[in-house]
Amino acid sequence: MEKFVPEEPTPDTRYEEIQKLKEKVERLKGKNDTLNNDMQSLQHDYLNVKVECEAKTKTNERLIKRQKMDRECIMEMTQELTATKAELTSRAREQEVVVLSECQWKSAYEEAIQDRQKLMRELYDL
């Protein structure tokens, strides 16, 4: 088997290779610049999203705290309303008793007056 031996480059081929390498370096520099610009843009976008996310997180925390306070306030109001309802129910029952008692007293009073008048008539008739 014969071994492949590369030919010695000529000045023209060396110049072409150097030119190709220079062109490749320039293309890669351009691509690097583009990638750096893209990276800076993405970093800027990332920071904007991060700031927005932090702001939304703070807002959510405030809303959760507010909801907790609202729930506590509603529980307090519910307890107060329950106590007030019980008090009003008790007063209403007492009022019913008073009204019934007054009606009974009035009825008894009127009956007593009628009995008295009847007795007085009987006395005068004698």
* pLDDT tens, the chain, 126 aa long: 566 666 676 777 888 899 999 999 999 999 999 999 999 999 999 999 999 999 999 999 999 999 999 999 999 999 999 999 999 999 888 888 887 788 788 888 888 899 889 888 888 877
Residues 40-76 as b or e (16 or more Cβ within 10 Å = b): eeeeeeeeeeeeeeeeeeeeeeeeeeeeeeeeeeeee
Read off the pTM: 0.49
CA atoms of 110 and 106, how far apart (whole Å): 6
CB 17 within 8 A of CB 9: yes
Dump pLDDT digits (tens) for 66-87. Answer: 999 999 999 999 999 999 999 9
